[in-house]
Chain A
Amino acid sequence: MTQARQPAHDGSQQITALYQAHALGLVRLAFLMTGDRPTAEDLVQDAFLGLHRRWDTLVDPGKALSYVRSCVLNGCREIYRVKYRKAQFRLDPPEDIESAEDIAILGEANRAVLAAIRRLPARQREAVVLRYYLEMSEDQAAQVMGVARGTVKSATSRGLAALARMLEEAK
């Protein structure tokens, strides 16, 4: 009698399920951070492939989502680092991919806010997005960002103040 194949214990099923459940949300998060959809998708794909490579060493599979989210945020930081360090001749900036339909959906006010968010320093941007887009508590955001709760608090406060200032200046 042929034995039925055993279910995979390599994490592939869990990773697939995790991807199906959270990839869209993570791409949205990366998109808000980077403003570039292909980059956001690449970052999320890479984070999941990284999770697959490290599945054996993952102590708590329940923290897989946290791991992937951290990878995505790290990737966003790296993208910004490279972009700001090297962008001198702005020919095709990857931010603000907006079709006419997107522009109509977003509206002028939201576009201004999103553009201002992308101009924030990385830590402030992360804190603001995690707190007000993902509605994370300060403790949760601190865990994801790998910083102290107080750092999240101050980064959020400064980020909001900077946003208000930028939006006021843009009027």
Chain B
Amino acid sequence: MSTDDQMSIEDRVRTATRAGASLIRDVRPLGAPAPVQLRRRPGPAPRRWVNWGAPLAAAAAVAAIALTLVAIRQAGPPSPAASGSGAAAPVTIPRYYAASTYDAHTGRNGPLIVGDDLTGKVIDTISPPPDSIFTSVHGMPDDRTFVVQAVVYAKPSGLATYAWYLLRIAPGSAHPHQLTKLTIKVPDKTPGVIAYALSPDGRELAVESMPGTIGDTSPDVITLGIYSVSSGAQLRAWTTPAKITSGISQGTLSWLSGGRQLVFGVSESTASQVYYIQLRTLDVTGTGTDLMADSRALLTVNNSGASTCLSLQITSDGKAAICATQYAFVNGSGSNAGCANGGLRFIAFPLPAPKPSRVLYQYGGACHNGESFTLWTDASASSIIGVTRINPDNAGGKEAVQVGVITGGRFRPLNIAKSVPWANYANLGF
């Protein structure tokens, strides 16, 4: 007879609940009340706001950042699936997402929405500040924190600059979000931000940028800067010695090794018009300011032909890079048969290279051309959230866009709000 059998059920409950409770060893500080309540309270302002609310509201930016940082530091790995019976094999993915509904195709501005991919429910909508457009979102591993990028158009010059916000969500609560503007300003005049990524401890934001107008990705000098989240100051910066084509997308820029390394992408062509993309790793603790000389190549992929990588994202364990391909979108080449037979794939390249790659998922339906993109990956690339965008024919057929979980070679659609446009994919963060 086991010890458990000898214990009464009451004692087993006592023992288990105490053991379970002991897993929680600290709590985050109490958050500030939402400022909206201060504005809308009828009648004379109560003294409690003067004494407690007002100082907190004045320090709201700092407090929110601090709370978020604490939350990020406390966050453990993504939750494992629950035990128990169920038809679908449980996998581990983030439950909440944030998405900009700004449509770059039509120029129509829209709010940021926070959604639940399990239920399909939109939890909250957040309007952009005046003269601003929320353009992209980057999710953090705690499933509650996001970095949101906005483009701000100054009046009357119309000059565009970038701004970043920390979004902290609290699903199910009366105050489901807290949005805090960061003081970071990229020093370049009219910079084009290629990618950004928040460090694992939430203290620093890495920003990859180049001069030029927004959206202009022609070759130029690239700057990779690290900024303090709390002060906005630039802490470090590296630049390329010559003009170069940037990394391929937001999502390529990643922190590794607990914030000691930054992985970024560059793209280049040879004289014979063979295009390649390269993932490089930079030790941010080292000295130097030359982005190329101070970094080393991790992976180089030939990116010529009808099927090419549209996104290339390294996993957090640094052991694989996931290429999501596009088919015939770039050069107009390819065929229907080619598109439907391996044209659209999610491919894992084991690192360090070279090692044989493996196909995680391959689209096999009707397809004239299409794109795929990695939105999120777990540490080992066993579960991925990706998007596929399929044009079934070249005769005006309706384009099909699906966001789904890729695991075990299968693509299972997720419930994403229909108001999320698909002009680009960086507007959706998990």
Contacts and interface: CB of A to CB of B under 8 A. Distances in A.
A132 B12 CA distance: 9
Interface residues of A, number: 71
Contacts, number: 196
A160 B47 contact: no
Contacts of A95: 79, 82
A49 B172 contact: no
A10 B19 contact: no
B158 interface: no
A75 B395 CA distance: 52
B12 to A, nearest CB: 5
B17 interface: yes
Contacts of A29: 21
Interface of A is mostly: helix
Overall SS of chain B's interface: loop
B46 A46 contact: no
Interface in A99-128: 99, 102, 105-107, 109-111, 113-115, 117, 119, 128
A19 B19 CA distance: 22
Contacts of A61: none
Contacts of B28: 41, 45
Interface in A31-59: 31-32, 35-46, 48-50, 52-53, 55-56
A54 B297 CA distance: 58
Interface in B103-139: 117-119, 121
Q: Which of B23, B34, B405 has the most CB of A within 10 A?
A: B23
Nearest to A42: B170
Interface residues of B, number: 65
B44 interface: no
A38 B19 contact: no
A79 B172 contact: yes
A42 B13 contact: no
A152 B99 CA distance: 45
B37 to A, nearest CB: 7
Contacts of A160: 9-10, 13
Given A40-B24, A91-B91, A92-B93, A8 B47 contact: yes
B270 interface: no
B77 interface: yes
Given A50-B174, A106-B23, A91 B52 contact: no
A109 B16 contact: yes
B185 interface: no
A94 to B, nearest CB: 7
A46 B27 contact: no
Contact of A53 (B24, B33, B78): B33
Contacts of A78: 172
Given A95-B82, A164-B9, A10 B93 contact: no
Given A15-B30, A31-B20, 7 more contacts: A41-B27, A45-B30, A86-B119, A91-B117, A94-B95, A102-B23, A110-B19
The 6 closest A-B pairs by CB, nearest first: A10-B48, A12-B52, A113-B16, A28-B21, A133-B17, A8-B51
